[in-house]
């Protein structure tokens, strides 16, 4: 599904500060992998590089293959058939990802319309997707008329529009209070896993990672320091420092 080899990201201009260095890992179809590490470890940069969303002023080197297509240095034409279908991003902050002036049903229908689906069929599918994420009656609502947890569900419905084979989620529940978090995690659990979408989940919260993922990648200072089964990573005494840093942050947040 995903093959990352010797991936590095550095600032363009001297002193060419490295943000990520020599990252290598694979992700199988339907596999769920958590990315953890202290603040500034490079988690968001990893997600951006995998999705071709690295900002200007930064240079990506190495290789990222999405279902066999090399995407490092890829332009819009190479990304077009992949975006939303091979990969999709669940926005961290649905408050900014959603258009406040457009009813959510229409927002979910728009990407379908852009792919040539007729108006009626697009609305029907938008309602079906909203129902799938537990919001059967939300199509005619505006984002401001929904709670934070409901908006995060809409963001997930938007990510699911193209039936992606890899869902990438960067802190999808960190803005939500714990009771609402549980519902969104249940939902992520339902739509990813064997025979469904693979999941690359960035989180500060080790409990969240342990709940959803079978494998953990631990980043420290832009390097991948551990890649292993969740239980092994959490139990490994050499990781106490990294894990404690991540745990501390999850408490702070
Ligand atoms: N555009 C940029 N130019 C230069 N440095 C950047 C840029 N974007 C991020 N960085 C730096 O890259 C490092 C990794 O940032 P990144 O956002 O990936 O960390 P993170 O692990 O996701 O942290 P957090 O958990 O706080 O979101 C940080 O030191 C950050 O300051």
* Cα distance between residue 15 and residue 3, in whole Å: 29
Average confidence (pLDDT) over 26-43: 94
Average confidence (pLDDT) over 180-185: 84
- Cβ of 68: how many Cβ atoms within 10 Å? 8
19 CB within 6 A, ligand 1: yes
Output the residue whose Cα is nearest ligand 1's atom 17.
Answer: 44
> What pLDDT shows up at residue 97?
81
* Per-residue pLDDT tens digits for 56-113: 999 999 999 999 999 999 999 999 999 999 999 997 777 778 999 999 999 999 999 9
Q: pLDDT class for 51, splitting at 50, 70, 90?
A: very high
Q: Which CATH number, 1.10.150.120, 3.30.450.40, 3.40.50.300, 3.40.50.1000, labels domain 2-86+165-252?
A: 3.40.50.300
53 CB within 6 A, ligand 1: no
Report the residue among 19, 57, 224 best suited for mutation to probe ligand 1: largest number of ligand atoms under 8 A from its CB: 19
Domain boundaries, the chain: 2-86+165-252, 95-163
* Per-residue pLDDT tens digits for 206-248: 888 989 999 999 999 999 999 999 988 888 776 666 656 655 5
Helix (H) or strand (E) holding 219: strand 215-220
Q: What is the mean pLDDT of the chain?
A: 89
pTM greater than the 0.80 cutoff:
yes
34 CB within 6 A, ligand 1: no
């Amino acid at each position: 599904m995903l093959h990352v080899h010797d991936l590095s990201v550095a600032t363009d201009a001297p002193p060419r500060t490295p943000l990520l260095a020599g990252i290598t890992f694979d992700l199988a179809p339907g596999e769920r992998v958590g990315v953890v590490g202290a603040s500034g470890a490079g988690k968001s940069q990893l997600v951006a590089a995998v999705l071709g969303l690295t900002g200007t002023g930064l240079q990506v080197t190495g290789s990222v293959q999405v279902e066999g297509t090399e995407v490092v240095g890829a332009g819009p034409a190479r990304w077009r058939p992949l975006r939303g279908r091979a990969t999709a991003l669940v926005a961290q902050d649905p408050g900014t990802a959603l258009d406040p002036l457009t009813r959510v049903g229409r927002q979910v229908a728009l990407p379908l319309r852009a792919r040539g689906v007729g108006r009626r069929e697009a609305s029907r599918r938008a309602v079906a997707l909203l129902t799938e994420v537990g919001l059967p009656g939300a199509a005619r609502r505006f984002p401001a008329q929904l709670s934070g947890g409901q908006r995060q569900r809409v963001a997930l419905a938007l990510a699911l529009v193209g039936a992606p084979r890899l869902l990438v989620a960067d802190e999808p529940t960190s803005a939500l209070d714990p009771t609402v978090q549980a519902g969104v995690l249940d939902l992520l659990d339902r739509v990813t896993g064997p025979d469904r979408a693979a999941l690359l989940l960035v989180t500060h919260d080790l409990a969240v990672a342990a709940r959803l993922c079978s494998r953990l990648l631990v980043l420290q200072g832009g390097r991948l320091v551990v890649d292993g089964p969740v239980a092994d990573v959490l139990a490994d005494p050499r990781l106490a420092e990294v894990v404690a840093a991540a745990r501390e942050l999850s408490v702070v947040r």
